[in-house]
């Protein structure tokens, strides 16, 4: 699902000698054009003309995406459904390439364990995780029509509209609206409702008054099995499937920590592709052995102190941010650095990417720290990745609910003498008192925390009995002094048992892809006056098609060579298009530039061919038998285009090869 957007400029390759200066100049010109597109999309929010520029830029991008079938509204012939989109062939290819790189960058390079769990999740799982009770958005209703709206979205749109279009705003009001946007996710239902009333915000479609905000659970409810007696939900995150499999994954990993598990899947209210990682770590040691690999990275970070004081994001060194405590621990910092590398290697502009720390009341109650990777686009800054230290909350919750201990252990080199609380239930007394419910009461007693057990010991010694809640029975029972012995004893231990903490990077794949579309989009002049040609400057890593093969003219000997090259490209695993239409070569270049194809092979000879770079438009001569290996070198990232130009003779484009507008 495509929810957001942004604009990118690739760095020009640095020539290795004075000879390819022309290539460097051409690349610099391309860079400048991309930067201008980015400026248009990111112009200051206070300018009405800037808002118009961003809108015009967005329209140019989305029109190109839909026309070239990257995506289209789902069920289009029936009028479509808001928020649902179908990926077309190039869109599917980009998505597949992004996910393949995600697996390479995280699952393979970090040695993670990948799982694939069902979308439908039993209610008991999501009850334990807290989603049934807490996975809500604050909504308001049109008081006359009953139409529902996200309360925070209405307030956000109002503030942004005022900042962009109202040139009469005082400095105080400007600061107020900016502050509301900064703390929007931190506002309670009462605060949201008060702001909506204060600003006179009404239903956008009818201008009718709105209700007070109320919580709405975001999960789709369903039933499992034909009886309908087993309730379930479409999962709101992929993480819970990993948590409930922790015991088996821990065993599979040789009972060793730390380790990480990963999953890609669909979820939530509308279809939304999420890729999540759960990195399990000892809560007493959140260092990371590879932290030094990222510690020197410097990028835009937006700590909570900066947000609360109205300041802007600033460039910080991630190593320094961890050492000073801005980022909670090394493992969290390591994944922030890895996420930065992942996004920028995909093609996200590093100057329009920032990591924003959650405000205190914005964080989940169990989180130790949380940062969002936000990407700027024509819609503003949007969250695309969340990187959170979730502590041990999830594993503890599922341990308590299921009765299965989801624990890790650390073996000691030498036994240690420790004072330990020992809970010894009397099976005989419990059996006489609770009969068939004996097992559930016994397990509940054994699962007590140290604080609960000491409180029970004190009550039993003073009163002789105590009321005790057994969750699996759903009621309180009376525990008498004869039923359980609770003592502190000195014991020798050979290992330490503990519940691991988890660091969770969570990726919204659809949002990342749309931002990538905007960051890679630019326009350049065509042959006709005022004509602009659309280009998607995808890095080869994510380009939907890696190269095209064009016979210069439609004659048999060139077509034979084109088919030979196509066969070699297929054998090398390189996605490509072979185009033998009679269109001019300029039209064919422009048409494939518009879907982001990095390289074009023009067959204009039977022994050697022309290879053209999309962004610089530079061309080289390559022998037919070598062309597939050259293309693979560039598209696999083994060599840059500048490296290749060094080794092969340049080819000067003829007038017939100049760019023309693609046929629509």
Same domain, 509 and 488: no
> pTM for this structure?
0.76
**Which among 2, 166, 11 has a CA at the least distance from the CA of 94?**
2
DSSP character string of 308-361: HTTPPPEEEEHHHHHHTTSSS-HHHHHHHHHHHHHHHHHT--GGGEEEEEPPTT
The reported pLDDT for the residue numbered 48 is 54
Same domain, 180 and 305: no
Last residue of a domain, one of 479, 512, 536: 536
CA separation (Å) from 556 to 503, 548, 585, 657? 60, 18, 17, 20
DSSP character string of 367-430: -SEEEEEEEEETTEEEEEEEEEE-TTHHHHHHHHHH-----EEEEEEEEEEEEEEEEEE-HHHH
**Digit-coded pLDDT (tens) for 320-334:** 999 999 999 999 999
More confident residue, 518 or 80: 518
**DSSP helix, strand, coil percent of the chain (3-state; round to 5):** 40, 25, 35
CATH number at residue 652: 3.40.50.800
DSSP 649: -
Joined together, the tokens standing for residue 343 give 């996004």
Same domain, 582 and 445: no
What is the pLDDT confidence band of residue 661, given thresholds at 50, 70 and 90? low
> In what side-by-side order are the strands of the sheet with 576-578?
576-578, 547-551, 599-603, 608-613, 619-623, 650-651
Provide CB contacts within 8 A for 29, sequence distance 6+: none
What is the pLDDT confidence band of residue 268, given thresholds at 50, 70 and 90? low
Q: Is 102 a member of any domain?
A: yes
Same domain, 269 and 376: yes
**Digit-coded pLDDT (tens) for 8-53:** 232 333 333 333 333 333 343 344 334 444 434 444 444 455 667 8
Number of domains composing the chain: 4
Least confident range of 134-138, 383-387, 453-457, 478-482: 134-138
Same domain, 570 and 445: no
CATH number at residue 508: 3.30.930.10
The reported pLDDT for the residue numbered 470 is 84
**pLDDT higher than 70, residue 267:** no
The reported pLDDT for the residue numbered 34 is 45
Q: Is 191 a member of any domain?
A: yes
**pLDDT higher than 50, residue 142:** yes
What is the pLDDT confidence band of residue 258, given thresholds at 50, 70 and 90? very high
**pLDDT higher than 70, residue 469:** yes
Same domain, 470 and 576: no
**Which among 509, 581, 645 has a CA at the least distance from the CA of 92?**
509
More confident residue, 296 or 180: 296
Q: Is 347 a member of any domain?
A: yes
Mean pLDDT computed over every residue of the chain: 86
CA separation (Å) from 12 to 29, 352, 401, 640? 9, 18, 56, 10
What is the pLDDT confidence band of residue 121, given thresholds at 50, 70 and 90? confident
Q: What domain range is 470 assigned to?
A: 413-495
The answer to whether residues 163 and 45 touch, using CB atoms and an 8 Å cutoff, is yes
Joined together, the tokens standing for residue 487 give 């003592």
Q: Is 359 a member of any domain?
A: yes
Q: What angle (nearest 5°) sits at the alpha carbon of residue 376, between those of residues 367 and 319?
A: 50
> In what side-by-side order are the strands of the sheet with 221-224?
120-122, 230-234, 221-224
Q: What is the mean pLDDT of residues 575-596?
A: 90
**Which among 540, 547, 546 has a CA at the least distance from the CA of 610?**
547
Same domain, 341 and 430: no
Q: Is 12 a member of any domain?
A: no
The reported pLDDT for the residue numbered 524 is 92
The reported pLDDT for the residue numbered 654 is 60
Same domain, 549 and 637: yes
**pLDDT higher than 90, residue 220:** no
Last residue of a domain, one of 224, 253, 280: 224
CA distance 161 to 436: 64
Joined together, the tokens standing for residue 8 give 């990118």
More confident residue, 449 or 201: 201
Last residue of a domain, one of 509, 536, 563: 536
The reported pLDDT for the residue numbered 51 is 65
- β-bridge mates for residue 356, sequence order: 302, 372
**Digit-coded pLDDT (tens) for 607-636:** 999 999 999 999 999 999 999 999 999 999
The reported pLDDT for the residue numbered 626 is 95
Joined together, the tokens standing for residue 80 give 């479509």
CA separation (Å) from 550 to 154, 580, 591, 623? 51, 6, 12, 15
Q: Is 386 a member of any domain?
A: yes
> What are the φ and ψ backbone dihedral angles of 264, each rounded to 5 degrees?
-120, 135
CATH number at residue 436: 3.30.720.200
The reported pLDDT for the residue numbered 50 is 64
Q: What is the mean pLDDT of residues 349-363?
A: 91
Same domain, 367 and 383: yes
- β-bridge mates for residue 425, sequence order: 484
CA distance 152 to 135: 15
Same domain, 103 and 252: yes
More confident residue, 451 or 374: 374
Same domain, 393 and 531: yes
Q: What is the mean pLDDT of residues 626-649?
A: 92
Same domain, 447 and 422: yes
Q: What angle (nearest 5°) sits at the alpha carbon of residue 71, between those of residues 567 and 595?
A: 45
CATH number at residue 208: 3.30.40.230
Least confident range of 50-59, 264-273, 430-439: 264-273
**pLDDT higher than 80, residue 194:** yes
Q: Is 4 a member of any domain?
A: no
SS3 of 607-637: the string is: CEEEEEECCCCCEEEEEHHHHHHHHHHHHCC
Q: What is the mean pLDDT of residues 44-65?
A: 76
What is the pLDDT confidence band of residue 664, given thresholds at 50, 70 and 90? low
Joined together, the tokens standing for residue 118 give 């069902």
More confident residue, 26 or 73: 73
**pLDDT higher than 60, residue 439:** yes
Pairing of strands 599-603, 576-578: unpaired
Q: Is 20 a member of any domain?
A: no
């Amino acid at each position: 699902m495509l929810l957001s957007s942004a604009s990118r400029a690739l760095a020009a390759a640095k020539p290795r000698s004075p000879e390819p200066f022309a290539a460097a100049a051409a690349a610099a010109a391309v860079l400048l054009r991309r930067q201008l597109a980015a400026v248009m999309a990111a112009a200051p929010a206070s300018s009405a003309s800037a808002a118009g520029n961003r809108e015009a830029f967005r329209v140019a991008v989305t029109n190109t995406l839909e026309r070239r079938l990257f995506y289209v509204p789902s069920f289009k012939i029936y009028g479509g459904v808001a928020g649902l989109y179908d990926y077309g062939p190039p869109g599917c290819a980009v998505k597949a390439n992004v996910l393949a790189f995600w697996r390479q960058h995280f699952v393979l390079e970090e040695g993670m364990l990948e799982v694939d769990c069902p979308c439908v999740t039993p209610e008991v799982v999501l009850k334990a995780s807290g989603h049934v009770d807490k996975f809500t958005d604050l909504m308001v209703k049109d008081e006359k029509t009953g139409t529902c709206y996200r309360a925070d979205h209405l307030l956000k749109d109002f503030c942004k509209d005022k900042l962009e279009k109202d040139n009469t705003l005082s400095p105080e009001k400007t600061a107020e609206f900016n502050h509301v946007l900064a703390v929007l996710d931190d506002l309670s239902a009462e605060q949201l409702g008060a702001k909506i009333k204060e600003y006179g915000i009404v239903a956008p479609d009818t201008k009718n008054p709105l209700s007070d905000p109320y919580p709405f659970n975001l999960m789709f409810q369903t039933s499992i099995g034909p009886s309908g007696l087993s309730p379930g939900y479409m999962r709101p995150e992929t993480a819970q499937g990993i948590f409930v499999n922790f015991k088996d994954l821990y065993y599979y990993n040789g009972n060793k920590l730390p380790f990480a598990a990963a999953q890609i899947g669909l979820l939530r209210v509308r279809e939304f592709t999420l890729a999540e990682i759960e990195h399990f770590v000892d809560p007493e040691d959140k260092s990371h052995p590879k932290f030094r690999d990222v510690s020197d990275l410097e990028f835009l970070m937006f700590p909570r102190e900066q947000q609360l004081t109205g300041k802007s994001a600033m460039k910080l060194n991630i190593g320094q941010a961890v050492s000073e405590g801005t980022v909670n621990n090394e493992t969290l910092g390591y994944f922030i650095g890895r996420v930065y590398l992942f996004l920028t290697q995909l093609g996200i502009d590093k100057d329009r990417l920032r990591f924003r720390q959650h405000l205190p009341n914005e964080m989940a109650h169990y989180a130790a720290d949380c940062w969002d990777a936000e990407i700027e686009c024509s819609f503003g800054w949007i969250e695309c990745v969340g990187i959170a230290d979730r502590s041990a909350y999830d594993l503890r919750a599922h341990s308590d609910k299921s009765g299965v201990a989801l624990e890790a252990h650390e073996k000691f080199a030498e036994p240690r003498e420790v004072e330990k609380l020992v809970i010894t239930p009397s099976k005989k007394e419990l059996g006489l008192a609770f009969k068939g419910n004996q097992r559930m009461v016994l397990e509940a007693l054994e699962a007590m925390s140290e604080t609960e057990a000491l409180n029970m010991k004190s009550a039993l010694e003073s009163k002789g009995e105590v009321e005790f809640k057994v969750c699996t029975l759903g009621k309180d029972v009376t525990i008498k002094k004869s039923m359980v012995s609770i003592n502190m004893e000195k014991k020798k231990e050979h290992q330490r048992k503990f519940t691991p903490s988890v660091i969770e990077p969570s990726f919204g794949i659809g949002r990342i892809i749309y931002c990538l579309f905007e960051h890679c989009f630019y326009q350049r002049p065509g042959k006709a006056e005022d004509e602009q040609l659309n280009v998607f400057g995808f890095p080869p890593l994510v380009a939907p098609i890696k190269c095209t093969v064009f016979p210069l003219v439609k004659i048999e000997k060139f077509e034979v060579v084109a088919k030979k090259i196509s066969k070699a490209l297929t054998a090398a695993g390189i996605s490509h298009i072979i185009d033998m239409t009679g269109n001019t070569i300029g039209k064919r270049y422009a048409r494939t530039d518009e879907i982001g194809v990095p390289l074009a092979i023009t067959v204009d000879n039977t022994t050697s061919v022309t290879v053209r770079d999309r962004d610089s438009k530079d061309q080289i001569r390559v022998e037919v038998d070598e062309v597939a290996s050259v293309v693979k070198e560039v598209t696999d990232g083994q060599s840059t285009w500048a490296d290749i130009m060094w080794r092969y003779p340049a080819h000067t484009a003829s007038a017939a090869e100049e760019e023309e507008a693609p046929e629509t």
